[in-house]
Chains A and B, each alone.
Chain A
Amino acid sequence: MYALSTMAMNHRHFFQEYYGDSKTPFHLESETTYNGIFPDNAKPNTIAQQILLDLNMDGTHYVRGGRNGKPITIWREAPLWMKRITYTPDNNNLRIERQESRMPTILEELHRRKGFEQDYLLADLWGVIVDLVIAAMVFWVLSGLWMWWELKITRQWGGWFMIAGALLFALFIATI
């Protein structure tokens, strides 16, 4: 997933040209009247959580607006879909839009996803897995170096490849 998504991001301009827009559009899924009652002086996060629970859509989300009776927009981010829910208190309008499913967008969302930001166990577990991937990558580097050193027959060529990679990396660090 990380390799595929990195390629999608590295060639973002290609995909933007392919789809004809730089932002993945949202399409209206439903528009209803929401009659839920919020606690007095409810904060945007409280309002968002209640709406998501009532819609049976609770999970990782981000909120914008919603202060002092202004419209609130909630982005509910699931790995395979993203929904934008807009609630306007003035007329109790609840608008649900779903982002168009595009593979590069899904991959990017998966790549950027992290845990430990909100009180959702699964999201935190995802964060733990991300940390495990990080630890594994460092472990693969160290264990790979050790295995390479143990294999005398490939030590010389392996060394040359490592030096070539390190020199190219250093060139990039110094110049771009």
Chain B
Amino acid sequence: MSFNHFNRRLHLYLAMFLLPWVLMYGLSSLPFSHHDFFDDLYRGDGVSTWTKRFERSYDRPVPQGADLRQIGAQILADVDLEGAFGAHQPNQQRLNIYLHDFWDHTRLSYFITEQRLVAEDRRFRWDWFFTGMHARGGFQQDSFLNDLWAVVVDGVCIGFFIWIASGIYMWWLLKPTRLWGALALGGGIASFIIFLLAL
């Protein structure tokens, strides 16, 4: 198998395997780029964003500088919830824990000084479904499948580098499109630099 042959097969088969991710990242960028438009689609439908699941008294100290993920995991265990989550402390009085999968999103608000814990479920919206998928990544969750998703995210990134390199190689071999390709490539690089400097 020649390098040219290998390059073409790699370009194609990698694309076929990663096709769902490329399509997902493309489509899910739209709600990010046109946030207001998608917000308007759902705003008038009368469905509230958050529905309270429970509210209870709760007491767990949150020392300053504590590992929020560790405390978040303890709180989730205390209320029999599990899954991928993130923890955020917007101020000294409050700790938020976000429990999420691709379909559901639950927010636990722990009001530290009031010793009160509120759990709320977020409504489903297709734009949030896609943006949630888009934003998902990282290796901080204690779950094999979540880590595997992050590995695939890295794979998609590496895939893009391979498509760029293999695409440039294939373009260079096609003499009839060399000039126009160079103009397009040069124009893209020049405009990117202009944006970097002028924005």
A28 within 8 A of B: no
Query: B139 to chain A: which residues have CB within 8 Å?
Result: 10-11, 13
Stretch at the interface among B9-17, B41-49, B111-119: B9-17
For the side of the interface on B, what is the size category? 35 or more
Is the CB of B156 closer than 8 A to any CB of chain A?
A: yes
A176 to B145, CA, bound (A): 7
> Which residue of A is nearest B147, CB measured?
A176
Is B21 an interface position by the 8 A CB rule?
yes
Contacts A6-B156, A176-B101 hold; do A158 and B16 have CB atoms under 8 A apart?
yes
Given contacts A79-B196, A134-B27, contact A10 B19 (CB under 8 A): no
Pick the residue among A116, A136, A159, A168 that contacts B152 (CB under 8 A).
A168
Alpha-carbon distance A171/B152, docked complex (angstroms):
13
CB proximity of A129 to chain B, nearest CB, Å: 8
Complex: A165 Cα to B35 Cα, angstroms: 29
Given A59-B199, A78-B199, A176-B102, also A12-B20 (CB < 8 A): no
Task: Contacts A79-B196, A157-B13 given; indicate if A176 touches B138 (C-beta within 8 A).
Answer: no
Cβ contact within 8 Å between A158 and B23: no
Task: Return the CB mask of A93-130 against B: 1 if under 8 Å, else 0.
Answer: 00000000000000000000111100000110111011
| A-B CB proximity, top 7 nearest | A137-B26, A3-B160, A169-B20, A161-B16, A165-B17, A3-B157, A162-B16
Q: Which residues does A use to contact B, with CB under 8 Å?
A: 1-4, 6-7, 9-13, 59-60, 78-80, 113-116, 122-123, 125-127, 129-131, 133-134, 136-138, 140-141, 144-145, 148, 151, 154, 157-159, 161-162, 164-166, 168-169, 171-173, 175-176
